[in-house]
Amino acid sequence: MKNRLTTAQEKIRQNLDFKNRITGMISHEIRSPLSIIGLYSKKARANVKDEELKETFKSIEFTTNSLLLLSNQILEYSKEDTHQLVLKCKKVHLKDELNHILSSMSSLAEAKGNQLQIESNLKSDSVVYTDVAKIHQLFYNIIGNANKFTDKGWIKVALDFKPISGFENNLAVIISDNGVGISENDLKNIFESYYQGTVSEKVTNLGVGLGLNICKEIVELFDGEITVTSEQGKGTHVTFNLILTQV
């Protein structure tokens, strides 16, 4: 009996090791083609005169960089034994970073006939010590959702950055849309992993219902809270806040 148990445990460990090795390998190998796309885009940007085209290339570089951050994250997690989500912080110019994220999301919204409107009180000298990859994930997921469930409408992003003590700031974010909205019953479950609402059957949704679950986990790492309010047929508001350390 004991022998069978040990063999089964050994098998599970081997399977996990194999999975970890594969995720590690993929995230590692994906970095070279991504860097190459970034380099080509930089080269092309240097050679074009058209300002609009230059901006497009900048967004390509930013988005590939975002993917690089993400694959680095996967790589780090596949190496770690604890498998716990933790913040990996560095010095970040918050205004620049968020501007970049929002401008690349703006192109995505335009492609679906949606308009991204931004309201922000962030100043150029707002420098914080934070995990930039996780901030990317939050905005990509939530604006991505707003865009997925809205057609020819608007998506509003409101950013409010305020000091709460000598060394901490609160970043309050509201992302609203005037899309299909969420039914009361779905609203109760949307933070569950793999939960997708009933509307998801009507729109082309390649997702799996993990986005908001991941966002909740990330927001809690920042000692913040996330809530969703919505009215069917009218639209959705996602509100969250992050506590950020001042540099």
Ligand X SMILES: Nc1ncnc2c1ncn2[C@@H]1O[C@H](COP(=O)(O)OP(=O)(O)OP(=O)(O)O)[C@@H](O)[C@H]1O
Q: Could you tell me the CA-to-CA distances from 134 to 56, 70, 129, 215 in Å, in that order?
A: 24, 8, 13, 9
Query: Could you tell which of ligand X, Mg ion, none binds residue 68, using a CB distance below 5 to 8 A set by kind?
Result: none
> Pseudo-torsion of CA 125, 218, 192, 13, nearest 10°?
160
CB-wise, 93 or 156, nearer to ligand X?
156
Q: Report the DSSP pairing between strands 226-231 and 168-177.
A: unpaired
**What span, in angstroms and rounded, lies between the C-alpha atoms of 214 and 229?**
18
71, 126, 145, 150: residue in contact with Mg ion (rule CB under 5 A): 145
- Shortest Cβ 180–ligand X spacing (Å): 5
Local structure of residue 116 (DSSP, 8 states): E
CB-wise, 104 or 126, nearer to ligand X?
104
Instruction: Name the closest residue to ligand X (Cβ).
Output: 207
Residues that bind ligand X in the complex, under the rule CB under 6 A? 141, 145-146, 149, 177, 179-182, 186, 190, 195-197, 199-200, 205, 207-213, 236
CB-wise, 92 or 190, nearer to ligand X?
190
Quick check: 140 and 100 in contact, CB under 8 A? no
Q: In this structure, what are the phi and psi dihedrals at residue 119, rounded to the nearest 5 degrees?
A: -130, 125
DSSP per-residue letters across 154-209: EEEEEEEEEE-SSSEEEEEEEEEE-SS---HHHHTTTTSTT---GGGGTS-----S
CB-wise, 71 or 145, nearer to Mg ion?
145
- Shortest Cβ 109–ligand X spacing (Å): 12
- Shortest Cβ 184–ligand X spacing (Å): 12
- Shortest Cβ 128–ligand X spacing (Å): 26
**What span, in angstroms and rounded, lies between the C-alpha atoms of 187 and 39?**
43
**Which two structure tokens, joined as six digits, stand for 180?**
């299909």
CB-wise, 109 or 190, nearer to ligand X?
190
**What span, in angstroms and rounded, lies between the C-alpha atoms of 37 and 200?**
32
Q: Letter for the amino acid at 184? A: E
CB-wise, 44 or 187, nearer to Mg ion?
187
Q: Could you tell me how many residues of this chain bind Mg ion (CB under 5 A)? A: 3
Question: With binding defined as CB under 5 A, does residue 179 bind Mg ion?
Answer: no
- Shortest Cβ 223–Mg ion spacing (Å): 23
Question: With binding defined as CB under 5 A, does residue 178 bind Mg ion?
Answer: no
- Shortest Cβ 106–ligand X spacing (Å): 17
Query: Could you tell which of Mg ion, ligand X, none binds residue 236, using a CB distance below 5 to 8 A set by kind?
Result: ligand X
Binding residues (CB under 5 A) for Mg ion: these are 145, 207, 211
